[in-house]
């Protein structure tokens, strides 16, 4: 059987063969220049899918490491703040003990009160420490709200919440990123029972009214009320005649009315059951404020109470007795606060160790992923160069043979 090839067929076959070899040589050359064996999923579909998965795992690890860096920064700042507050407490204890000297007169005790107030302000500044992004460390979930704010009465009140944030630092690992100011500085066992006041989260007044000035005015009346809590609820203005802002105070446990439709004046003391609070602003109807009995004593409140005793008492025997009792209570409260700070600092140190351990684990995992990626996509240079040499030789041979075949013609024999 005779096979006839046209001139165009001869050229096309030779050209296609050379192009195939040229394409293979170019691909090998690209592999060598990029040091990658898999340039596209078509080169090795299974390896390409695994490479994509490993790169995603590597990206997740990098994200976890970024979170660890942020967490490490927050915890170090918290530890520094707690250490500073602990030093301030020690100085406050020294001044309080010094103020108990019977040889001091009222003016000298007043100077000590001024020094104590400066320590309170310094502690509050540390309690209002922020992280690198500007969020408050001790505000709980309310990172944008300054946790310790001074009210009109000159005393500090806690405006954060009791939340604790967690940051994920591994596929199944999360580490606490903060401690709430309430837990660290407010929830400290006190020698005497007390109470705390706060605005409810659902209040609608704009701007929101604030409550502060929580003070026990009559200890006997308060002890008879303890451990009950109360709620101050603002009524519609039409509840009184003439209309105006008014409130009702109820006992939380059974709803018993303590005071009904009392007229409200912003900044005035609201006194009941031996307690006194102060609300400032213009509450909206339906806004509520909680007055909750508490056996704890805030760190700042304990010192502020003693400052008030120093400022009000004189040199009489009765005043000295009041001062001595207040000194004993305050020193005991500060010892409890110091213990709480030591516990918190130990917890922060443990978390820093977790951060370091998690970072080391992530680095080890990252190395394993890099090794697996290298095995899948990195090029064997010796093999690739040998293959390129062979493909170049085949290409040159194809070009030479094409040159010969393309010259075949019957006219060459005449």
- Distance CA(59)–CA(62), nearest Å, equals 5
Q: Indicate whether 249 pLDDT > 60.
A: yes
Q: Indicate whether 378 pLDDT > 60.
A: no
- Distance CA(395)–CA(22), nearest Å, equals 7
Strand boundaries in 49-165, DSSP class E: 148-150, 156-158
Q: Answer yes or no: pTM beyond 0.75.
A: no
pLDDT, one tens digit per residue, over 393-404 is 566 566 666 666
Give the count of beta carbons closer than 10 Å to the beta carbon of residue 65. 16
**How many helices (H) and strands (E) in the chain?**
8, 12
Return the residue matching tokens 């070009």. Answer: 399
pLDDT, one tens digit per residue, over 4-24 is 555 566 566 656 666 666 666
Q: Of all residues in the chain, what percent carry a pLDDT higher than 70?
A: 79
Strand boundaries in 37-181, DSSP class E: 148-150, 156-158, 166-168, 174-176
pLDDT, one tens digit per residue, over 336-346 is 999 999 999 99
Q: Indicate whether 2 pLDDT > 60.
A: no
Residue 390, pLDDT score: 67
Residue 404, pLDDT score: 62
Q: What is the mean pLDDT of residues 106-131?
A: 94
Are 190 and 143 in contact by the 8 Å Cβ rule? The answer is no
- What is the token pair recorded at 131? 């992280």
- Please name the helix (run of DSSP H) or strand (run of DSSP E) that holds residue 198, with its range, or none: strand 189-199
For the chain, what are the domain ranges? 195-296
pLDDT, one tens digit per residue, over 32-73 is 656 666 655 655 677 667 767 777 878 888 888 888 988 999
Chain mean pLDDT for the chain:
83
Residue 286, pLDDT score: 95
- Distance CA(314)–CA(320), nearest Å, equals 7
Q: Indicate whether 349 pLDDT > 80.
A: yes
Residue 32 vs residues 131, 193, 388: alpha-carbon distances, Å = 48, 78, 9
Q: Indicate whether 136 pLDDT > 70.
A: yes
- Distance CA(152)–CA(212), nearest Å, equals 8
Residue 85, pLDDT score: 96
Are 139 and 161 in contact by the 8 Å Cβ rule? The answer is yes
Are 341 and 86 in contact by the 8 Å Cβ rule? The answer is yes
């Amino acid at each position: 059987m005779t096979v006839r090839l046209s001139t165009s067929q001869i050229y096309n076959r030779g050209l296609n063969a050379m192009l195939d070899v040229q394409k293979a040589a170019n691909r090998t050359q690209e592999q060598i220049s990029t040091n990658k064996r898999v340039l596209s999923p078509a080169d090795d579909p299974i390896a390409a899918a695994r490479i994509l998965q490993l790169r995603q795992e590597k990206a997740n690890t990098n994200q976890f490491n970024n979170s660890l860096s942020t967490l490490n920064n927050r915890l170090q700042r918290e530890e520094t703040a707690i250490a500073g507050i602990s030093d301030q407490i020690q100085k406050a204890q020294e001044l309080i003990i010094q103020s108990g000297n019977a040889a001091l007169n009222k003016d000298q005790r007043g100077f000590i009160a001024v020094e104590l107030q400066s320590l309170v302000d310094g502690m509050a500044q540390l309690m209002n420490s922020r992280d690198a992004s500007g969020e408050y460390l001790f505000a709980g979930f309310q990172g944008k709200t300054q946790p310790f704010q001074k009210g009109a009465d000159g005393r500090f009140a806690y405006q954060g919440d009791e939340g604790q944030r967690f940051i994920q630092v591994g596929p199944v690992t999360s580490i606490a990123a903060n401690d709430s100011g309430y837990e660290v500085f407010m929830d400290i066992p006190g020698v005497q029972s007390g109470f705390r006041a706060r605005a409810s989260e659902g209040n609608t007044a704009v701007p929101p009214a604030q409550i502060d000035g929580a003070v026990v005015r009559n200890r006997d009346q308060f002890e008879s009320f303890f451990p009950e809590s109360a709620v101050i609820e603002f009524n519609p203005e039409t509840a009184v005649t003439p209309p105006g802002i008014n409130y009702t105070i109820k006992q939380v446990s059974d709803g018993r009315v303590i005071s009904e439709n009392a007229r409200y004046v912003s900044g005035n003391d609201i006194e009941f059951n031996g307690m006194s609070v102060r609300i400032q602003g213009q509450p909206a109807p339906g806004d509520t404020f909680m007055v909750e009995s508490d056996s704890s004593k805030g760190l700042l409140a304990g010192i502020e109470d003693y400052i008030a005793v120093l400022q009000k008492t004189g040199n009489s025997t009765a005043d000295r007795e009041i001062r001595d009792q207040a000194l004993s209570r305050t020193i005991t409260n500060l010892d409890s606060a110091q213990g709480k700070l030591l516990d918190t600092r130990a917890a922060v140190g443990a978390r820093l160790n977790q951060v370091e351990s998690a970072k080391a684990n992530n680095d080890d995992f990252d190395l394993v992923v890099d090794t697996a990626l290298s095995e899948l996509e990195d090029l064997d240079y010796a093999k690739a160069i040998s293959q390129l040499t062979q493909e170049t030789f085949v290409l040159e041979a194809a070009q030479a043979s094409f040159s010969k075949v393309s010259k075949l013609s019957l006219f060459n024999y005449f």
